[in-house]
Chain A
Amino acid sequence: MSSAAEDTKPAMPVRAPLTAGMSFVKLAPWIYTIALFALWELLVIALDMPQTILPAPSRVFQAIVQYWSPIWKNSLQTLYTTTVGFAIAVVAGLGLGLFIGWSKTIYAGLYPLMIGFNAIPKVALVPILVIWFGIGAVPAILTAFLISFFPIVVNVATGLATIEPETEDVLRALGAKKLDIMLKVGIPRSMPYFFGSLKVAITLAFVGSVVSETVASNYGLGNMMSSAQSQFNVPLVFAGLLMLAVEGIAMYALMAWIERRMTGWAHRSTMSH
């Protein structure tokens, strides 16, 4: 417990070596990222790559500045379709997960169906969604939803299904109904699984929305990259990829922060027994 308290408090100035060590850990992600870009730049120079194959990062950043207006607009569009799809996935995933975890019969019956559904490549569903809803934001939102809700369902259902039998016995012997056990134990217990799954789900949601935008939309980073590619504007394609990475990292960090805020206890205790 004491180590957790120390993490959040600023280290005392007397312990200079430790402070230096801590800040190095904090700086490490930046240093590694810069190193990756530097390596990439050097590789392009050394191999004398044409920018239509692999543009140097400096060229990519230049493209970002040059095309900032469409990049910004399309980034917001992708962020919008992704978060809407993700939000639907959170609600539906939580609901379905609780439903599946409720009883062993439902769990046994629906689980194979879920696995089968998850095995379908979501890109194959995009044409069907286009037939139903036309091109545009709706297929992108739905693809983001379809691809990201599976991990949420599985995690919530697992949290419910793995209640310790002793806990259940103690409560049932007191006359607890199924609903009591779910409310008092099952749902709080599955929350760390749920919030943990959000980190996986949000990154998958980006995959879904971009795939759909690439094949069936006039907006979004997916669409922007595919039209840039058809004009051999490879730096712009990479600029789009970079923006996606940035959005993905930002949303992941947000989910990780929410997870820590909501279920800090799970990181302190061992849920496994």
Chain B
Amino acid sequence: MAQHLVSIENVDMRYGGASGTLAVAGLTVKVGKGEFAAVVGPSGCGKSTLMKLVTGLHIPQSGAVVVANKHVTEPVSIVGMAFQNPTMLPWRTTLDNILLPLEIVERHRHRLRAHKKEYVEKAEALLETVGLKGFGSKFPWQLSGGMQQRANLCRALIHEPELLMLDEPFGALDAFTREELWCVIRDLHAAQGVTIVLVTHDLREATFLADRIFVMSARPGRVLKEHTVPFARPRDLDIMYEKGFNDMVHELHGEIAQARVVA
């Protein structure tokens, strides 16, 4: 049990007071250290609530959320987050955007000025791994959507988080850019050993990237089913055209369609 980096047990989360909407009910999710977990489900199933519970932005009314062996009662700074909207600050260069978390996180903010060079080198190395070498001095609005999303990943990773939470990070991108970024994420996960929780609507994305897939029900959200993805790593994009892969996507699709009907 101690090996779980993220452990959500029997959590209820209700918005807007006692008579408000119940977003998740009896939610139990456990993600091991170094694991790549994906969460799929019909829209409005509380996937974003899950994100906020894990990062400590919301504290549940009942049940327990434990991250890195600590009961979550306030925002946990060991997490990096990336959303569908890259939310780069337009008045900062890409490099300064990526350094932003270091100005916030307690452990780094006091060292930043004195060790600026070291941090800048680290950011540039990250930029290189996502294929943005030399773009640090550009402003975000000079980059394409896909490039902004790459920079967004760098920003989520700069403070070396143990846990990376991704909320549909590739939703707004075209199919080819999306596949490129799947490979970027896959390689980052392999290289850095970071634990990743990916919330997505894209079942192929979930199957391609994840070790385990949680299927959630319609609101109030809870986990209907948990799948272990059997494919060996490293996975190649071609795997998506194999029968086993398509069967799995098909099965997931069926489960979510059913969850929608029930709701």
**Residues on A close to B: CB < 8 A?**
1, 164, 166-167, 169-176, 180, 184-185, 188-189, 191, 263, 265-266, 268-271, 273
Query: A residues within 8 A CB of B56?
Result: 173
Mark the stretch among B119-127, B138-146, B218-226 that contacts chain A.
B138-146
Q: Is the CB of A175 within 8 A of B104?
A: yes
Complex partner residue of A271 from B81, B90, B101, B139, CB under 8 angstroms? B90
**Residues on B close to A: CB < 8 A?**
52, 55-57, 75-77, 79, 81-83, 85, 87, 89-91, 100-101, 103-106, 139-142, 155-156, 159, 165
Pick the most buried of A167, A174, A268: most chain B CB atoms within 10 A of its CB. Answer: A174
Query: A residues within 8 A CB of B139?
Result: 265, 268-269
Query: B residues within 8 A CB of A273?
Result: 85
Query: B residues within 8 A CB of A173?
Result: 55-57, 75-77, 79, 81, 165
Shortest distance in angstroms between A163's beta carbon and chain B's nearest beta carbon? 10
Q: Is the CB of A170 within 8 A of B81?
A: yes
Provide the main secondary structure of the chain A interface: helix
Q: Is the CB of B87 within 8 A of A184?
A: no
Assess A169 versus B89: contact at CB under 8 Å? Given A174-B101, A174-B159, A269-B140: no
Complex partner residue of A174 from B52, B77, B82, B90, CB under 8 angstroms? B77
Cα A175 to Cα B80 in complex, Å, equals 11
Q: Is the CB of B75 within 8 A of A170?
A: no
Please, which residue of chain A has its CB at the minimum distance from the CB of B56? A173
Cα A59 to Cα B140 in complex, Å, equals 56
Complex partner residue of B142 from A1, A166, A263, A271, CB under 8 angstroms? A1
Shortest distance in angstroms between A2's beta carbon and chain B's nearest beta carbon? 11
Q: Is the CB of B90 within 8 A of A175?
A: no
Shortest distance in angstroms between B167's beta carbon and chain A's nearest beta carbon? 8
Q: Is the CB of A169 within 8 A of B106?
A: no
Q: Is the CB of B57 within 8 A of A167?
A: no
Query: A residues within 8 A CB of B103?
Result: 180, 184
Please, which residue of chain A has its CB at the minimum distance from the CB of B152? A170
Shortest distance in angstroms between A189's beta carbon and chain B's nearest beta carbon? 8
Pick the most buried of B82, B89, B106: most chain A CB atoms within 10 A of its CB. Answer: B89
Query: B residues within 8 A CB of A270?
Result: 141
A-B pairs with the 6 shortest C-beta distances?
A269-B141, A269-B90, A173-B55, A175-B77, A167-B87, A166-B83
Pick the most buried of B81, B87, B100: most chain A CB atoms within 10 A of its CB. Answer: B87
Please, which residue of chain A has its CB at the minimum distance from the CB of B139? A265
Shortest distance in angstroms between B99's beta carbon and chain A's nearest beta carbon? 11
Please, which residue of chain A has its CB at the minimum distance from the CB of B101? A174
Query: B residues within 8 A CB of A172?
Result: 57, 75
Please, which residue of chain B has its CB at the minimum distance from the CB of A263? B91
Query: A residues within 8 A CB of B90?
Result: 265-266, 268-269, 271
Q: Is the CB of A169 within 8 A of B91?
A: no
Assess A171 versus B89: contact at CB under 8 Å? Given A166-B83, A269-B140, A269-B141: no
Query: B residues within 8 A CB of A263?
Result: 91
Cα A10 to Cα B52 in complex, Å, equals 53
Cα A170 to Cα B159 in complex, Å, equals 13
Shortest distance in angstroms between B31's beta carbon and chain A's nearest beta carbon? 17
Q: Is the CB of B100 within 8 A of A175?
A: no
Cα A172 to Cα B103 in complex, Å, equals 12
Q: Is the CB of B142 within 8 A of A184?
A: no
Cα A180 to Cα B109 in complex, Å, equals 11
Shortest distance in angstroms between B237's beta carbon and chain A's nearest beta carbon? 29
Cα A265 to Cα B90 in complex, Å, equals 7
Query: A residues within 8 A CB of B141?
Result: 265, 268-270
Please, which residue of chain B has its CB at the minimum distance from the CB of A180? B104
Shortest distance in angstroms between B54's beta carbon and chain A's nearest beta carbon? 9
Query: A residues within 8 A CB of B106?
Result: 175
Assess A175 versus B91: contact at CB under 8 Å? Given A169-B81, A170-B83: no
Please, which residue of chain A has its CB at the minimum distance from the CB of B100? A184
Q: Is the CB of A169 within 8 A of B55?
A: yes
